[in-house]
Amino acid sequence: MDVRNFVVLSHQGAGKTSLVESMLFTSGIVQRLGKVEEGTTVSDYDPIEIERSMGVNLSLISFERKGIKLNVLDAPGYADFVSEVKSGLRVSEGAVILVCAASGVEVGTEQMWSNIEERNIPCLMFINKMDRDNADFYSALGVVEEKLGNKFLPVQLPVGAQNDFRGVVDLMTMKAYMGSSGEVEEVPAELKEKAKNFREKLLEAAVEVDDGLISKYLEGEAISDEEFFGAVRRATLESKLVPVFAGSAISGIGTQLLLDAICHYLPSSEERSSFVAVDSAGNEETIAPSVDDLPATLVFKATADPYVGKLSYLRVYSGVISSNSQVWNANKGGMEHIGQLFTVMGKNQQPVSQLVAGDMGAIARLNLSTVGDTLCTPDHPLKLEGISFPGANFSMAISPRTKADLDKMGNALARICEEDPSLQVSRNSDTNESIISGVGDAHLEIVKEKLHRKFGVDVNLDPPRVPYKETITVPTKVEYKHKKQSGGHGQYGHVILNLEPLPRGEGFEFTENIFGGAIPRNYIPAVEKGVNEAKQEGVLANSPVIDMKVILSDGSFHPVDSSDIAFKIAAMQALKKGLSLGKPVLLEPIANVIVTVPESYTGDVISDLNGKRGRVSGMAPAEGKVGMMVIRAQVPSAELLRYAIDLKSITQGRGSFTMQFDHYEEVPAHISQKIAAEAHKEEKTS
């Protein structure tokens, strides 16, 4: 099967979805050209996408054109949905990156190009919206070369611009293709010299991939159109050249030529000679993209639907996967039943009997399999390379709005996380909050909306509480006698505790050195239980107590009135009293932060980190990333709650960071007082 698997990428608003729609219309797959603003495109079918006029999901569009199967992956352009981009790139042999002719290279364009380079796959560029006001092909091309590198060379030039945009000149054939129908004409006189010069530049770059052609070119021999075309294709496949096309997705000008170029310049699924998989013993094994080789299929996307169930998207790398069959999930180590397979056109599915090597499709209701899993045969288990998702650096506390929402929230979140592996849900035992973490604020807002629309679950998203701790700074000795008489048996428990501060990170320790039976051994567990319960709420901000040693040194008991509960209460009150006498301090979590930013932003980022009470420990060039710097710092976690948003603002979206908890440190006195006051205020109102 002759298949082209490619992903369409761009900055938000450059026209990816409109281009995919134009491809479908031009190919006769749809009879009416859908529009993003009207919510009628094939790619953007989710109600959230229609309402916001922006893509948030990776869409698979499969259709045939001139005997070639095209699997088009329309990826979101907004940075918070980069996990969808990663999935699309992982299963594609090629990419088409769009640039708006008016706005040129934007932050998202740079990020998408960086992702393409990371995967090292062949790419075409389409300078879109040539009919828009202020459209300038040559200005946009200049910015592309300046910001993205010198690989980008036009294979087309526009005829006119803005209101006068009429067609394109193809530098390979030196013919003009006018209007959406692509009527062939001679190159306009005013463009002949420019087209000749750009063709010469393209030829110079292309022949460099072939020593024989270089010799012919240098010796002034004629290079045939066939040789020229072959050299451009080879340079594209080797990622040494990115052919640049021009057009307008809305008017359809240039779409046919771009589709032809995708079929000509981007590799077929069979042209990749082999893939590397890992067998059950951990050894690498080479498999071929052939229907006759060992079966290996990757699950690259999943969508959660309360009615249809989970829909899993598949890319078959080798062999054949058939409807109504059994496969082995190599990652989970279990059999998976395959029901009906489908090819996909946005929200619509067409049943098929099988999917063969190189193709993509979908299946409903897989039980074991999640994104990144490999489906194969149990006789020869293989694992394909998984998908690398971005870290979840923006967290919010998530809580149900009603009791009914509480009952449904857990299951709904699990379904959403299956759909989106870049999401993380955890429970913070110190603050008793459920925490949801994602790529950014827009990411979590979309999750909130999906929970409502798909599962009828309404939630609140609030800044998470910082898990402060408390400790003492000086040793202290304290006693407490719990004595109560209320007719019949009374209550009597008497303890003497020694409290000692421990070094940071040592935790909490309880021990005893009771001699002479001052307290019977059977009451000591009750004392320990009282101490452990009391340490959960300190005296400053009701935070757990750490880095302290408690020694039960003495006490007394009553042969009749003493009990476990009496000693537990005595221990709790003694600890609370001791904390007040031990000059308590508040501790806050400190995180190690690694920030990667363009060199020009390092000053602003360091200044911002200093303003967040951070300590910058080093700065060095980023390995393998020209013009990027890595800044390392330690910053209080309380200052990092919105850092994903702050860094995006400072660096115009060009920066990234990771953070990891490292240790606890004492909170400065003036900040500690504010935190304590706020905690006591909450306690009174609750």
CA torsion, ordered 305, 308, 313, 318, to nearest 10 deg: 160
Tens of pLDDT, residues 471-521: 999 999 999 999 987 666 789 999 999 999 999 999 999 999 988 889 999
User: What gap in Å lies between CA 287 and CA 367, rounded to an integer?
Assistant: 26
CATH number of 586-671: 3.30.70.240
What single string gives the DSSP state of each residue in 72-90? EEE---SGGGHHHHHHHHH
Mean pLDDT of all residues in the chain? 94
Under the banding of pLDDT at 50, 70 and 90, the label for residue 625 is confident
> Which pLDDT value is given to residue 273?
66
pTM over 0.85: yes
> Which pLDDT value is given to residue 1?
74
Buried b / exposed e over 100-113, threshold 16 CB at 10 Å, is bbbbbbbebbbbbb
Whether 307 has a pLDDT exceeding 80, the answer reads: no
CATH T-level assignment (fold) for domain 470-583: Ribosomal Protein S5; domain 2 (3.30.230)
Half-sphere exposure for 23 (CA within 13 Å, toward CB): 29
Under the banding of pLDDT at 50, 70 and 90, the label for residue 222 is confident
Q: Which two tokens stand for residue 484?
A: 């109560």
Tens of pLDDT, residues 15-66: 999 999 999 999 999 999 999 999 999 999 999 999 999 999 999 999 999 9
Q: Which two tokens stand for residue 203?
A: 């030829």
**Of 647, 659, 595, which is closest to residue 622 (Cα–Cα)?**
595
Is 395-462's fold the same as 586-671's?
Answer: yes
Grouping H, G, I as helix, E, B as strand and the rest as coil, residue 208 is: helix
CATH number of 275-384: 2.40.30.10
Residue spans of the domains in the chain: they are 3-187+239-265, 275-384, 395-462, 470-583, 586-671
Number of neighbours of residue 682 by Cβ within 10 angstroms: 12
Tens of pLDDT, residues 366-399: 999 999 999 999 999 999 999 999 989 899 999 9
Tens of pLDDT, residues 57-74: 999 999 999 999 999 999
Q: Region 246-268: what's the mean pLDDT? A: 97
Looking up tokens 């002034």 gives 220
CATH class of 395-462: alpha beta
**Looking only at Cα atoms, what is the longest distance across the chain?**
117
CATH T-level assignment (fold) for domain 3-187+239-265: Rossmann fold (3.40.50)
Whether 684 has a pLDDT exceeding 80, the answer reads: no
Number of neighbours of residue 546 by Cβ within 10 angstroms: 18
Q: Which two tokens stand for residue 486?
A: 């209320």
**What phi and psi values does residue 649 have, to the nearest 5 degrees?**
-70, -45
Q: Which two tokens stand for residue 16?
A: 């990816």
User: 213-217, 387-391, 589-593, 669-673: lowest mean pLDDT where?
Assistant: 213-217
